Structure 1
C-alpha cells in the first residue's frame, strides 16, 4: 500500500511540475492598485505617488509627485505612514487625510487591507 501511494504521489508531481512558491496575498491584491501606484520610485506620470519605502515615510513626501493640499498639510505636520495609519487610510481615506484625492479599490476586507499593508511595508 505504501509503495502504491508513493508511486501515485510521484506521478502527480511529475504531471504538475515542481512546487512553486505562492505569491503573497498582498502582492496579488496590490495589482489592483498598480493602475495608480508603482513600487518603482523612478516611474513618473502615475495618478498616485510611488509606494516604495512607504513604511515610516512622511505623508506627501515622495519626490516628483504633486500632492493635494491635504497631503501637503499632513507633510508639514510630520505625519508618517505606520501600520495603523495606512490600515485606516485604506479603510476610509477621508478619515485619515480629508481631501486626499484617493479612492481605494472597492470591496477590500480588513484581511485584504492588512495583507496589502504587510506587502507594502516589505517593499
Structure 2
C-alpha cells in the first residue's frame, strides 16, 4: 500500500511538472515574432519595438524605437493597445495603423492571433 501511494505521488509530481513545463500557446506563436520583436525592454536595434508592457501602452511609445509617421500620429492621438486593437492589427495592420510599416504575420490563423494577443497582453 505504501509503495502504491508513493508511486501515485511520484506520478502526480512528474505529470504536474510536465503540465507546468508546457509553454502557453501564445508563447509558442510569439517565437515567430521574435525575429523583429522582443519582450526585453533593453533589447535595442530590432526591426520592431519591444512588446513588453503592451497592455494599455500608447501606440508608438516604446522608448528608443524609431516609429513610422503613422505610429507617431497614433501616439499623438493617445491611442492605446488593447485586445481588440491588437487582434485587428495582427489581422490587417493597415486597417489599424495605415502606413505602420508592418506586414501581417504570415500563416497565423484566428486562434494563433488570439493566443499571441492574450500572451502579449500579460507580459
So what's the TM-score if we normalise by structure 1? 0.85
- Specify the alignment match of 2:14 in structure 1: 18
Moved over 4 A (4+): none
Structure 2 Cα separation of the partners of residues 79 and 122 of structure 1 = 19
Larger Rg: 1
Q: CA RMSD in A?
A: 1.6
Number of residues paired by the alignment?
111
Specify every segment of 5 or more residues in structure 2 that has no aligned partner in the other structure, as ranges: none
Determine the C-alpha separation between the residues in 2 that align with 1:29 and 1:97. 22
Render the CA deviation track for 1:67-123: whole Å, top value 9, x for unaligned: 000000000000000100000000000000000001132121111100001000111
The structural deviation recorded for 1:54 is 0.1
- Structure 1: give runs of 5+ residues left out of the alignment: 1-5
For the pair 1:92 / 2:88, whether they are aligned, the reply is no
Q: Give the match for residue 105 of structure 1.
A: 105
